[in-house]
Structures are given as structure tokens and as C-alpha cells.
Amino acid sequence: MTTRFVDVPALAALLQKVGVARFLAELTEALRADFLRWPEFEKSARTASHSAQGVIELMPVADANRYAFKYVNGHPGNPEQGLPTVMAFGVLAEVSTGYPLLLSELTLTTALRTAATSVLAAQALARPGSRCMALIGNGAQSEFQALAFHTLMGITEIAVFDVDAAATDKLLRNLAHLPGLGLRRAASVADAVCGADIVTTVTADKTRAAIITSEMLASGMHINGVGGDCPGKTELHPDVLRAARVFVEYEPQTRVEGDIQQLPAEFPVVPLWRVLAGFEPGRQAAEQVTVFDSVGFALEDYSALCLVHRLATQHGVGRMVDLVPPQANPKDLFALTRSDGAASAALRLVA
């Protein structure tokens, strides 16, 4: 057996074959299917190692058949060194044997799965017929959010804002030729959210911020708070949360990392999977304000890794590597270190 290895060029090639919009659509449906299987998964909050510069995390999850994990960082100062703020890779393995089926980049994939998860939540929580959106934070993930909401939610107008004007320039340039989508550069956060049905915040600074305040709320608004994803990092003022019905992915993790870290432990939240499964209501009235306090959960990476594995296998993308020694005698690992020809003899021929 060998392991399929999908690096960044391979994933880019896969997206060019499949199309980004189609990939987002398939990923959104894969996420929905896996959220509906929520009780079948062995879940835990991610393990995080924090520093003054950022955070490095491990995110595991498994069902009866497959185990997945993601290694991911978040270092807001990285762009100044020519590095992405977020970098990630992941593994998908068989539960029955532990054998790794897939080793894949997850930096680009994380941007895709985050956008798909945001849409999944908005499909369940935003007012039907929402057409106007505000996108606060125009960094590496912003184009994927805009494309997902345009193609999967029918958003036709997006007001964009970032404190870094160059980031907004980049977004406008990348999406300038997307048919049917009107983009407006806003002068401020307040300007961007004015008139928006849906507000998505996807900022990177590791700081306790109040980017959206209660004065900016409008009747029936839905907010995807995506950027607040570790202790001490927030985007929404506590009064925004108090004024809204709040939904989360995995509550034990969100209590520590999400915007609700600012509120008492008894503050009520609703798990998104229970809404998708029909066990809890989502939006209860047209005028209600809803918030998806999204921190990113390992189940979403599981869905993404399974989709990448299926599509990469189907399209012959990536390459097969011997991540595990392909030995003729699995008990004779030492033979691989010998120089008298035994090492070659110990290896099985792999077609």
C-alpha cells in the first residue's frame, strides 16, 4: 500500500480540473452530511500551543472508519516575513489499520472549507432571499468567502473593508470579472455593514477586538464571526452576542476560543448540527439577529480531506508515496538500514 500525497501544486491542479465553485458546492454538501452524523464522531477540542507571535494547533477527529487530523498555525505577523498567516497540512487514515490514505496540504483547503462552513451556517440561519453582504477582512480567505456566498447563497452585492487598503485592492482585482457580483469598497466597517443582510468577519489580528458593535446591528441581520478563533482573540462586542441568538460548532472549544469567551459560561448557545438535524430551531423570527460564532472544528477538516481524497483519486491528482515502509517482512524494520543488499530485498515491489 502507498499513501496519496497532495501538495499545493497538486491541489491547485485539482481545483483547475474541478472548478472552485463546484468544489465549494461539493464541500458544502459533504459538510452538511457529516454534521448530520455528528453523534458518530469521536470529538475533542484542539490542542493548542500559544506564543506571543501566534498559535500552533493539532485538530483530531474520527468516526468508525476514518481518522483525520490537521496541523495548523495562526501567526498574524507572518505576511511581513513573506509567509502566510495560516499554514496547514493534514492526514486521513483508516481506523481499522491506522494506515495513512492521504497526506495533503490544508492551507488552501482550509480557506475553502471555512468558506463552505460559513455558507452552510448562513443557509440555515440567514433570512431567505438575502442578497447583500459585508465582508470585513480582505486577506487570504476573503475571495473564497465571496465566491461561496455568491455561487451558493445568491449574494449579488458585497461591501468590502480592510484596514489594509492593499488587501482590499487584491480582493477587488481577483474578483473583478466574476459575473453577477457587485463589489463596493467601503470607507469603514460601519459603512460596509449598513444595509447588509449577512456580515462576515474574517480578520487575522490576535487581539481582543470589537469590530462589530451593537450600534451596527440591523433587524434580521446574520453575522458569521470567523476570525475570532483562539483565547484572547475576538471580533464581536459582547453586546452583539447578547442581542443575538448564537450558534456554535463544538461548544467546549468555542467557549474557550470563540467570541463567547467574553461572556459567562451559562450564556446560551445552540450547536449548529442540532439545527441542521432539525432538533433545534435556527432563526425564530425574520427580525431576529443571528450569529454563527465559528472557530473552525476538526470535523470540517475531516470532510475536506475525504473530498480531496475522493476527487484526487478520481482525477489522478497527486502522487503515491511510501510514507510507511513497504516491507516484505513488517517485523524486520532494521533490514532497511543495511547496506549489503538486504535493504533492497526487504522492500516489496510497489506497482
CB of 121 closer than 8 Å to CB of 247: yes
CA distance 79 to 176: 24
CA atoms within 13 A on the CB side of 207: 8
Of the residues 229, 259, 293, 301, only one is catalytic, namely 229
Specify whether 197 is catalytic. no
Sign of CA dihedral 162, 167, 173, 174: negative
Q: Which CA distances in Å does 228 have to 6, 27, 260, 297, 298?
A: 29, 23, 10, 13, 16
Please give, one letter per residue, the 3-state secondary structure of the chain. Answer: CCEEEECHHHHHHHHHHHCHHHHHHHHHHHHHHHHCCHHHCECCCCEEEECCCCEEEEEEEECCCEEEEEEEEECCCHHHHCCCCCCEEEEEEECCCCCEEEEEECHHHHHHHHHHHHHHHHHHHCCCCCCEEEEECCCCCHHHHHHHHHHHHCCCEEEEECCCHHHHHHHHHHCCCCCCCEEEECCCHHHHHCCCCEEEECCCCCCEEEEECHHHCCCCCEEEECCCCECCEEEECHHHHHCCEEEECCHHHHHHHCHHHHCCCCCCCEEHHHHHCCCCCCCCCCCCCEEEECCCCHHHHHHHHHHHHHHHHHHCCCEEECCCCCECCCCCHHHHHCCCCHHHHHECCCC
Show which residues are catalytic: 229
